[in-house]
Chains A and B, each alone.
Chain A
Amino acid sequence: MGTVGILCNSLQIFGSVGTVLNREARMIVKQFHSPGRKRASLPIPQEVTMVQEKFAPTVESDLDRAEALLLYRDLTLGRTFEDMCAQMYYRGKMFGFVHLYNGQEAVSTGVIKQLRPTDYVTSTYRDHVHALSTGLSPRSVMAELFGKATGCSKGRGGSMHLFSAEHNFLGGFAFVAEGIPVAVGAAYAAKYRGTDAVSVCFFGDGATNNGQFFECLNMAALWQLPILFVVENNLWSIGMRHHRAASLTDIYKKADAFGLPGIKVDGMDVLAVRSVAKEAIARARAGQGPTLIECTTYRFRGHSLADPDELRDPQEKEFWRKQDPIPRLAAFITEHELATSEELKNIERSIRAQVEDAVQFAEDSPEPPLDELYRFQFAEDE
């Protein structure tokens, strides 16, 4: 009875909108009425292409040796730190949900390294590397993951709640899309005070189907707020492929509906991200309003360390691994003779030592005292 009722309603609804939907409705009805054959299902959208469109080509002319090495250092720090997190998680040094950023480093580095210390950043539950790029020390982030009192959130936050007031890193937001309006608030504060600070929020493709994303695009464009909406489109929301969740898969095109610029960029190319970010930051700083940037990227690991990652096609993973942003930048640097591969190796070694030092620091740090359970809840508890 339930099924029949639903079908009748569907037919009525579809019937009122037009022939195309009618056809769709009939198809669904047919499936419903064919027990033992094919189960009812939603129409399956077309697969998205894996070939990337380079809307923003790599711009190299203004990249000097110092900046190239800074970018390389930051990419490497992100990767090395996350690999270490995986080890520490499996060794039982950290707990809970730990979402690693491997593969997406070019987005964090490409955008954040163009910011000033007075600018603001919000992130998601996949926030370690954004925090590091923003300037939080590997020690303070690792100690937080170990739940120690020396952690950036004093052991109260954990992986998904990293914060640093000192670095204007407004968080680590554990629920999808909730950090976007917070970043809009920071941009609003900048406009309110007449400063030239810029706010950047990072979020994934999954967040772009959430109302807060659209509400914020609207407000930011309406009030011409100095903000960058940076989408890290890694194609997957845990096990939901982007094209199964979004009616229009090109996220950058959604900017059009709200009257702000939307740009798609190869998120595996740190220099391409950098050049797009530079332009958007300059616009924001000059009072010309927000920009939506869609970075096509891919996570090399599962959604979290608890995800066996069995759903994604190995061929797809391979396709993206070949675009690893770190060797790409390394090749660029050596080809353009900005540094030798030996120098890059030295950077990797020093980063490795820095991350090992962070682990040692976290290991040696004290846990927060239990009698401070209520501390920090209210402003009165400093």
Chain B
Amino acid sequence: MPVKLFYEALHDALEEEMRRDANVYVLGEDVGHYGGSYKVTKDLYKEFGDLRVLDTPICENAFTGMAVGSAMCGLRPVIEGMNMGFLLLAFNQIANNGGMLRYTSGGQFKMPMVIRGPGGVGKQLGAEHSQRLEGYFNNVPGLKIVHTSTVYNAKGLLKSAIRDDNPVLFFEHVLLYNLKEDLPETEYLLPLDKAEVVQSGTDITVLTYGRMRYHCLEALSVLAEREISVELIDLISLKPLDLETIGTSLKKTHRVLIVEEDMKSGGVGAEVVASIDEQYFDYLDSPVLRLAGKDVPVPYNGRMEATVIPQAADIVKAVEDMLELRV
């Protein structure tokens, strides 16, 4: 099995899908000759040419609208947000046109469009480059939202996202591009709407996604030493939520902690809490709690920045606190 870096897995997914379907094309800032800021599109233009690996001017709103128009005409655009935060400049085109147009047209047009790129809190990138947009976009009807976390799921999910006939927001994390993993040599696809049970356990369910998966794993190894058995679930699909997997787990553990990097107010975690409350309240032994990003612009200062997002020690403490509530 070949060892691949995270960005190479994404690159390979693009390359395979572009070879498979001539309608798939990539567009964005510096995706062509420069190869993408995180090398995801490196050298693709050499095989596929400038039209299929399109270097756009810096105009997120217009080139996203252009992708929408091309998708309506049967192409399958994959937009790279150089930094996903830049896509706030294209919010209208993503929400009003990408998300709603199929519905408002009475189902006449498909919108096979992927919008992918790095987000999340990096290393002292400053507030605007440290954004998590899941919460912003979670309210938009018609979008599918996926957050990758491993080399393996990055590749399988991106291939599925490209083949999906709906607009998919595909989040990567800026600090995960150099992860390494052995990947299967044979082609594989992963479902866009399924969570992954990362580790089975019996005492409590921890729901997370994206880079927080690794903070949780770190916490789990500490908790294991203290003989606390945690079931860790990576949500992967943020919209729609895989409530079946969540429900199966909490029926076993009766306790749920959510760990998310996005800001607490109105985030995906809030939606998960509400959904659990509506569907699985009777199975709970304690309130569902959230460890989330603080509601503040991410500060530049490194020590302050670290306090903004949940750390492994916070997760350990939260789990222990919740289990002490055991009745």
B-binding residues in A (CB < 8 A): 120, 122, 151-157, 161, 163-165, 170-171, 173-175, 178, 180-192, 199, 211-212, 215-216, 218-219, 222, 375-382
Contact = CB atoms under 8 A, between A and B. Distances in A.
Nearest to B67: A185
B102 A192 contact: no
Nearest to B56: A219
A120 to B, nearest CB: 7
Nearest to A166: B108
Contact of B73 (A180, A185, A212, A380): A185
Given A178-B93, A381-B107, A188 B72 contact: no
B101 interface: yes
Interface of B: 25, 51-52, 56-57, 59, 61-75, 92-93, 96-97, 101-112, 141-142, 164-166
A203 B106 CA distance: 23
Contacts of B109: 163, 165, 170
A157 B61 contact: no
24 contacts: A122-B69, A151-B106, A152-B106, A163-B104, A174-B96, A175-B96, A178-B93, A181-B61, A181-B64, A181-B69, A182-B65, A182-B69, A183-B69, A184-B65, A185-B67, A185-B70, A191-B51, A192-B51, A192-B75, A376-B105, A376-B107, A378-B102, A379-B111, A380-B165
With a 10 A CB-CB cut-off, give which of B71, B108, B109, B112 has the most chain A CB atoms: B108
A181 B62 contact: yes
A260 to B, nearest CB: 15
Given A153-B106, A153-B108, A378-B102, A186 B70 contact: yes
Given A185-B71, A189-B75, A157 B63 contact: no
A178 B106 contact: no
Contact of A215 (B59, B92, B165): B59
Contacts, number: 145
B92 A178 contact: yes
B21 to A, nearest CB: 13
Contacts of A181: 61-66, 68-69, 93
B69 A376 contact: no
A381 B110 CA distance: 11
A28 to B, nearest CB: 31
Nearest to B99: A377
A163 B106 contact: yes
Contacts of A175: 92, 96
A126 B227 CA distance: 67
A174 B97 CA distance: 10
Contact of A375 (B61, B75, B107, B111): B107
Given A163-B108, A185-B69, A219-B66, 13 more contacts: A153-B104, A156-B106, A161-B105, A163-B109, A170-B69, A180-B62, A181-B69, A181-B93, A182-B72, A189-B74, A192-B75, A218-B57, A219-B57
A376 B70 contact: no
A154 B108 CA distance: 10
A163 B66 contact: no
A180 B69 CA distance: 9
